[in-house]
């Protein structure tokens, strides 16, 4: 499968949502959906990496699918508010690269 940029993902999600009269949910509804998906991710992580094995009758969700659901909802959220996720990412990386530039031990310093 070909790699996609965040812009391509946002357009793909927008193309999908644009098919429906209902369009995007409200920001509050999207926040609730995001919280729900993060909870489902937590459950999967607990099953795979924690001490809580799945029950025999539980669905076969995976960490990968739950992360995919979060990316979809994140894209919906950003699109509904007119936010470019690539630009948001660039701003956040600038913040981390400046504010936290000396916060962590770099691998090159361990030698």
**CA dihedral in degrees (78, 80, 84, 86; nearest 10)?**
30
| Average pLDDT along the chain, 111 residues, taken 10 residues at a time | 94 98 97 97 90 77 93 98 98 91 78 55
The predicted pLDDT at position 78 comes to 98
Q: Are the beta carbons of 72 and 15 closer than 8 angstroms?
A: no
Delineate the domains of the chain, giving CATH numbers in brackets.
Answer: 6-85 (1.10.287.1080)
Residues contacting residue 46 through CB under 8 Å, at least 6 positions apart? 52
At 91, which helix (H) or strand (E)?
A: helix 85-99
């Amino acid at each position: 499968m070909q790699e996609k940029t965040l812009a391509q993902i946002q357009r793909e999600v927008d193309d999908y949502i644009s098919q429906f009269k209902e369009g995007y949910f409200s920001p509050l509804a999207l926040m609730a959906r995001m919280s729900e998906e993060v909870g489902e991710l937590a459950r999967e992580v607990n099953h795979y990496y924690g001490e809580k094995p799945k029950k025999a009758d539980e669905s076969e969700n995976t960490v990968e699918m739950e992360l995919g659901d979060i990316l979809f909802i994140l894209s919906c959220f950003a699109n509904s508010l007119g936010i470019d996720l690539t630009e948001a990412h660039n701003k956040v990386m600038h913040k981390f690269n400046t504010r936290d530039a000396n916060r962590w031990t770099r691998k090159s310093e361990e030698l």
